Amino acid sequence: MKLTIIGTGYVGLVTGACFAEMGSIVTCVDIDQTKIENLKNGILPIYEPGLENLVIQNYKEGTLKFSTSLEQAAKDSNIFFIAVGTPPGEDGSADLQYVLQVAKEIGQNINDYSVIIDKSTVPVGTADKVKSTIQKELSDRGVNIEFDVVSNPEFLKEGAAVNDFLKPDRIIIGVDSQRAAEQMKRLYAPFSRNREKIISMNVRDAEMTKYAANSMLATKISFMNEISNICEKLGVDVENVRKGIGSDSRIGYSFIYPGCGYGGSCFPKDVKALIKTSKDNGFEPELLNAVEKRNNFQKQVLSDKIIKKFGKDLSEKTFCMWGLSFKPGTDDMRESSSSVILKELMDSGAIVKAFDPVAMDQARKELPENWFTEGRLKLEANQYKAIENTDALILVTEWKTFRQPDFKLMADTMRQKIIFDGRNQYDPAEVREAGFEYHGIGRENV
């Protein structure tokens, strides 16, 4: 099958590369000429394990192509994936300007029956807007061309996106016509051979499913963070509580790890968007409001602990930060806890030496330039270089390389032996036995 993917960001690039891997001929389109040229040369705009090899190999084989021309791509394809960004507006709503611009261009260029697939995470009712936009362009052209708009939300975890796409738990397809349903089943057949993974539903149902899924996972995280704060007040070890409730099959262990808040491009944006949609339709989403409020609070927990320990004036203190990305396996720093904590430390006059296995370049792009030029934030070559002559370690992202550190080496090079463990990676007893003062999440007094 011949496909056109519009947008070469995280979702678009993974989608295009994985369909190409399964034998489809895919053209990825983006208006950014530099990005397209880089992709042709094997330079990816994002870090995602396994993706680089897929892109390079399929590009060499000719199953994956890159272009800046949707008009050209439309000549060879009648299946279009819209995978452009939907950044949050100031009021929390999803900004659909890029989605609708792509829809307009599709309407200007299709010449035969086409299936237009919303892959971007979009609010309920977006498919109707896409359909109206395309139909207007066709009417302006004076042509009568049939088309269907499908909702096919992605459920990709950053850091495991390639595996998630190639081996999906489920494939949600929102369709309003049998013709489109058959096209989609044929398209996804290579990913659904062991068992039927396709779940078909109405378009609006599919749009809502994506928001409900992400909001549910965010709710589990915020709930566990709420419990961690209660545990801390009561002298209870939240890690034992986590294991106790996780063993209940009705709850499970996934997404109940207490920490310093969730981030990334999905959970924060999607929770905000669903809250806005709810309010726009006359419903006050009390639970989702609480989920977002708890997460915003949780991102302040580590900096509050640091200030409680050292005082509000940190001008004489130097800290080591391990981890900058919002989670392991990605260089994505959008809505990251590290950004919030760093701002608190910078505002209090601290110096921070940081290390992340893959997000250092992203940090230079996203964080304020003056933090670097003034020498207040230094990105170090490795985790142990970052910890030299510091007053405390702040663990923010639970990369594997941080899981079993050399406590003796750390003790020999740090000015003060203090650890603020934002992801509860370490055993407090082991850390204290090594001579360190330990501050975790929901286990401060254990």
Structure tokens at 421: 């463990």
Q: Distance between CA 359 and CA 14 in Å, rounded?
A: 19
CB-CB contact of 414 with 372 (8 Å)? no
Cβ neighbour number for residue 36 with a 10 Å cutoff: 19
Q: Which residues lie below 8 Å from residue 145, measured CB to CB, with a gap of 6+?
A: 110, 111, 112, 113, 114, 138
Structure tokens at 100: 């609708």
Is the torsion defined by CA of 32, 34, 38, 43 positive or negative?
Answer: negative
User: Based on C-alpha coordinates, what's the Rg of the chain?
Assistant: 24
Q: Which residues lie below 8 Å from residue 129, measured CB to CB, with a gap of 6+?
A: 96, 100, 103
Q: Which residue has the tokens 């992202």?
A: 397
Angle at which helices 203-234 and 126-141 cross, to 10°: 150
CB-CB contact of 157 with 217 (8 Å)? no
Alpha-carbon separation of residue 289 from 64, 267, 272, 281 (angstroms): 42, 13, 9, 15
Q: Which residues lie below 8 Å from residue 285, measured CB to CB, with a gap of 6+?
A: 274, 275, 278, 279
CB-CB contact of 291 with 219 (8 Å)? yes
CB-CB contact of 342 with 377 (8 Å)? yes
CB-CB contact of 166 with 21 (8 Å)? yes
Which residue in the list 28, 231, 266, 320 is annotated as catalytic? Answer: 266
Angle at which helices 203-234 and 267-280 cross, to 10°: 110
Q: Distance between CA 75 and CA 170 in Å, rounded?
A: 31
Q: Which residues lie below 8 Å from residue 84, measured CB to CB, with a gap of 6+?
A: 6, 7, 9, 12, 98, 99, 102, 120
320 is catalytic: no
Q: Distance between CA 296 and CA 288 in Å, rounded?
A: 12
Active site residue ranges: 266
